[in-house]
């Protein structure tokens, strides 16, 4: 029974992590102020951070992390086969995320560097949509709790769910922040999808585009801005590739 006093069928969800820090799942589990209301909407069938129960009859699967081992591919395909809706949850799942930094160097070299030559099973980092069909992507490193709750309520009530299409700059300017370009920094706010309340530039840290490209972006104007300010294109390329979220733009335009 919810607080309005009527029974509502709860949505069966499963949440699964692959190669990642699990920070996106923890965002949900840690939000104590809204967790009881949130859980009242859901029938948790499989979610390691929240419950010790394990069931395979979920309808919505949240998939966190990127794919960096062959055994993860089979596990992901089995989740896809069960789920009616599969959500790529967080930047690692949506774009490959920070794990994709390992793709910049040959894998044998990466293993030698990190594991000092110890035998480990690994492969270049892939985003979830490289392997299976994704029905919905919720980006963010980590995801925004408010956004996830809003989207889940939308799914439960069968309303339309959407992400902001405009760039981070819109929210940043509303907060009356000093633009970091004026302080000589490259900030990806003009080309990155809003929805995080411009948390990084508000904290005086340039946006690295963890939420991926905004739909309403003007890449030529952004490149002109970087050049006009005499900032390094090499530095820009490095920022664009950090989360692997701007891959086509980075290759075509910088
Ligand atoms: S997107 Fe960021 S917070 Fe989420 S799992 Fe990946 S590294 Fe962690
Ligand atoms: S600091 Fe970044 S996000 Fe804020 S207005 Fe400047 S470019 Fe846009
Ligand atoms: S400001 Fe940029 S890097 Fe920071 S959370 Fe928002 S989109 Fe991600």
- What is the pLDDT, as a whole number, of residue 152? 86
Confidence of residue 53 (pLDDT cuts 50, 70, 90): confident
Centroid of ligand 2 to alpha carbon of 185 (angstroms): 10
* Ligand number, closest to the Cα atom of 125: 1
From CA 17, how far away is CA 7, in angstroms rounded?
31
Confidence of residue 251 (pLDDT cuts 50, 70, 90): very low
Which among 211, 216, 222 is positioned nearest to 250, based on CA atoms? 222
Mean pLDDT, residues 18-25 taken together: 95
- Ligand 2 atom, smallest distance to 177 CA: 4
- What is the pLDDT, as a whole number, of residue 90? 98
pLDDT digits (tens, 9 = 90+) for 142-166: 999 889 989 988 888 888 889 999 9
Confidence of residue 249 (pLDDT cuts 50, 70, 90): low
pLDDT digits (tens, 9 = 90+) for 54-74: 999 999 999 999 999 999 999
Is 236 close to ligand 3, i.e. is its CB under 6 Å away?
A: no
- CB 227 within 8 Å of CB 209: no
Is 211 close to ligand 3, i.e. is its CB under 6 Å away?
A: yes
pLDDT digits (tens, 9 = 90+) for 107-133: 888 788 778 878 888 889 999 999 999
Centroid of ligand 3 to alpha carbon of 106 (angstroms): 29
- CB 76 within 8 Å of CB 18: yes
With the most atoms of ligand 3 within 8 angstroms of its CB, the residue from 192, 212, 214 to mutate is 192
Which among 139, 163, 148 is positioned nearest to 244, based on CA atoms? 139
Q: What average pLDDT does the structure give for the chain? A: 90
b/e per residue 184-221 (b: at least 16 CB within 10 A): ebbbbbbbbbbbbebbbbeeeebbbbbbbbbeebebee
Tokens of 179: 């633009």
The residue that leads in pLDDT, 188 or 36, is 188
Write down the residue that tokens 């390329």 correspond to. 237
Mean pLDDT, residues 186-196 taken together: 97
Radius of gyration for the alpha carbons in the chain, expressed in angstroms and rounded: 20
- Ligand 3 atom, smallest distance to 195 CA: 6
pLDDT digits (tens, 9 = 90+) for 88-107: 999 999 999 999 998 888 88
- CB 25 within 8 Å of CB 47: yes
With the most atoms of ligand 1 within 8 angstroms of its CB, the residue from 17, 18, 20 to mutate is 20
Is 214 close to ligand 2, i.e. is its CB under 6 Å away?
A: no
Domain spans of the chain, in order of start: 11-156, 168-253
At the top level of CATH, the class of 11-156 is alpha beta
- What is the pLDDT, as a whole number, of residue 118? 81
Is 239 close to ligand 3, i.e. is its CB under 6 Å away?
A: no
Is 226 close to ligand 2, i.e. is its CB under 6 Å away?
A: no
Give me the sheet containing 42-47, strands edge to edge: 42-47, 11-17, 60-64, 85-89, 136-138
């Amino acid at each position: 029974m919810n607080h309005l006093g009527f029974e509502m069928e709860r949505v069966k969800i499963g949440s699964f992590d692959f190669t990642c820090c699990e920070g996106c799942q923890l965002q949900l589990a840690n939000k104590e102020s809204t967790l009881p209301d949130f859980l009242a909407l859901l029938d948790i069938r499989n979610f390691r951070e929240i419950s010790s129960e394990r069931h395979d009859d979920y309808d919505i699967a949240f998939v966190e992390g990127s794919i960096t081992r062959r055994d993860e591919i089979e596990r992901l395909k089995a989740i896809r086969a069960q789920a009616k809706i599969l959500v790529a949850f967080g930047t690692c799942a949506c774009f490959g995320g920070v794990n994709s930094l390992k793709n910049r160097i040959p894998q044998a070299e990466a293993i030698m560097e990190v594991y000092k030559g110890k035998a480990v099973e690994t492969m270049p980092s892939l985003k979830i949509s490289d392997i299976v069909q994704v029905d919905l992507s919720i980006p963010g490193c980590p995801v925004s709790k408010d956004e996830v709750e809003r989207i889940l309520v939308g799914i439960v009530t069968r309303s339309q769910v959407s992400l902001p299409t405009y760039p981070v700059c819109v929210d940043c300017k509303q907060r009356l922040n000093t633009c970091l370009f004026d302080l000589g920094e490259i900030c990806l706010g003009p080309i990155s999808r809003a929805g995080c309340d411009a948390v990084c530039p508000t904290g005086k840290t340039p946006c690295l585009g963890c939420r991926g490209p905004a739909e309403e972006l003007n890449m030529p104007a952004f490149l002109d801005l970087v050049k006009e300010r005499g900032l390094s294109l090499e530095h820009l390329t490095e920022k664009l590739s950090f989360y692997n979220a701007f891959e086509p733009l980075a290759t075509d335009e910088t």
